[in-house]
Amino acid sequence: MKYGSLKGTQDIFPPDVFIWQRVENTAKDVFASYGFQEVRVPIIESTDIFIRSIGETTDIVEKEMYTFSDKAGRSITLRPEGTAPVVRSYVQNHLYNLSSPQKFYYAGPMFRYERPQAGRFRQFYQIGVEAFGVEEPKIDAEILSMLKLFLERLGLTGLTFHVNSIGCEKCRPSYRKALHDFFSERIDGLCPDCKRRFDYNPLRILDCKVDACIKLREGAPVITAFLCDECKLHFNALLALLNMLAIPFVENPNMVRGLDYYTRTTFEVTSENLGAQNAVAAGGRYDRLVEDFGGPHTPAIGFAIGMERLTAIIKSLAKQEVPVPEVVIVTIGEDAGTKGLLIADRLRQEGVWVEVGYSGNSLKSQLRKADRLSSKYVLIIGDDELASGRLKWKRLSDGSQGEIPITEVYDFFK
């Protein structure tokens, strides 16, 4: 073969693509009942947008962005995630002037130059949601309930909802100091990146994927012990609502997210049906980001689902139903072939999936095609049928057959 796809990318075609379509349709339906509407934002953005929001010392910004200069020398980045572009759009289009909350969802490819492995791609797809303008924990609970309903609709089980609060700009400094003190005794063992992060952003050490750093952070102070009164109140209220809504969760004070924009609530949904990359969805609050992008103070919260991981779970659960044609029209001879095309055309206008045979295909090979496609019916047209005006049909599931006048064929299949 002359050309191959790039490492960490993949083609999605039938039958897998049917799972993708089902996931997208389910998302659309479930999100609609919570009032989330679609937004489509560009795949390329100014690099600054991501540096500013995700954070300079994160793995994404330090190592994983697909950044290039365009012909005018502007620094452009293929979006590594969807929150920053949606916030950029929210601010740029003054959507904060509309009634609150504004609730959006999006679906599409994201790009991160990561080491590809099972469940980790360089071009991967997310379905994400973002809700702007509500401070109270009620919307955090709604978002989690929506995610749970969505995953349940798709038949997923064995999920764990990890919930944490990572505080706000008021509580973060004392936590940073505690982390700094903790790691100052261990700095020699940290990886070069974390040695650098130690001064700028010790929180990022908690998210490092290097084994030595994972070991060294055992016993590190946890953020929940440092929350200010408001953050504590918010977090406890959320936990009470989750209980009320019967959303099972575990508090996971060690869960820090790999993006700097989060404040207060963060969460991740893991699946026992995945390997090392077991997070199917993740998100949290980012109450400062709209302001950082030049908008008014606007609290916000969202999440994103990893499509490759989600569809992998669905695929492992049960045999998937694939769509099949309603009827294959098998024709013998040129006149019958033309008549078959006309019938197919009329049926297709009624929304019926019809396949036809092509010249040169023997009767046997056309019947084999019907079998291979698992069509529900075959319709046979030859010279005799044309002369009598009656067509032979056969139902492949039980072998039953019969005849119908050509004039009734549309009603029969409709």
CB closer to ligand HAM out of 311 and 366: 311
Shortest Cβ 306–ligand HAM spacing (Å)? 2
Question: Among residues 113 and 410, whose Cβ is nearest to ligand HAM?
Answer: 113
Comparison of 304 and 344: residue with beta carbon closer to ligand HAM: 304
Q: What's the closest the beta carbon of residue 227 comes to ligand HAM, in angstroms?
A: 20
**If we measure between CA atoms, which residue out of 14, 253, 7, 274 comes closest to residue 118?**
274
Closer CB to ligand HAM, 35 or 173, in the complex: 35
> Would you say 118 or 363 has its CB closer to ligand HAM?
118
Short-list 109, 111, 140, 106, CA closest to 27: 106
Q: Which pair of structure tokens corresponds to residue 392? A: 């032979």
CA distance 355 to 371: 12
Q: How far is the CB of 140 from ligand HAM (least distance, A)?
A: 11
- Centre a 10 Å sphere on the Cβ of residue 263 and count the other Cβ atoms it contains: 23
Residue 248: CB atoms within 10 Å: 10
Q: Report the distance separating Cα 376 and Cα 291, nearest Å.
A: 58
Nearest to 129 by CA among 83, 175, 66, 174: 83
Query: How many contiguous H segments (helices) and E segments (strands) does the chain have?
Result: 15, 16
Q: How far is the CB of 217 from ligand HAM (least distance, A)?
A: 19
Name which of 274 and 391 has its Cβ closer to ligand HAM: 274
Strands 159-165 and 102-111: unpaired
Residue nearest to ligand HAM (CB): 306
* Separation between Cα atoms, residue 114 and residue 338, nearest integer Å: 54
Residues of this chain that interact with ligand HAM (CB under 6 A) are 81-83, 112, 114, 119-121, 124, 126, 128, 130, 258, 279-284, 302-304, 306, 308-309
Q: How far is the CB of 252 from ligand HAM (least distance, A)?
A: 14
Q: Which residues 6+ apart lie within 8 Å of 203 measured at CB? A: 166, 172, 175, 176, 179, 256
Instruction: Tell me the closest approach of the beta carbon of residue 91 to ligand HAM, in angstroms.
Output: 15
149 sits in the region (left: phi over 0; alpha: psi -120 to 50; else beta) called alpha
Distance CA 141, CA 147 (A): 10
Burial of 24 (C-beta count, 10 Å sphere; 0-12/13-18/19+): middle
Q: How far is the CB of 305 from ligand HAM (least distance, A)?
A: 6
| In the complex, minimum distance from the CB of residue 249 to ligand HAM, in angstroms, rounded to a whole number | 16
Amino acid code (one letter) for 403: E
Least distance from C-beta 162 to ligand HAM, angstroms? 11
Closer of 284 and 340 to ligand HAM (Cβ): 284
Choose between 64 and 193: whose C-beta lies nearer to ligand HAM. 64
Strand order in 44-46's β-sheet? 44-46, 75-78, 66-69
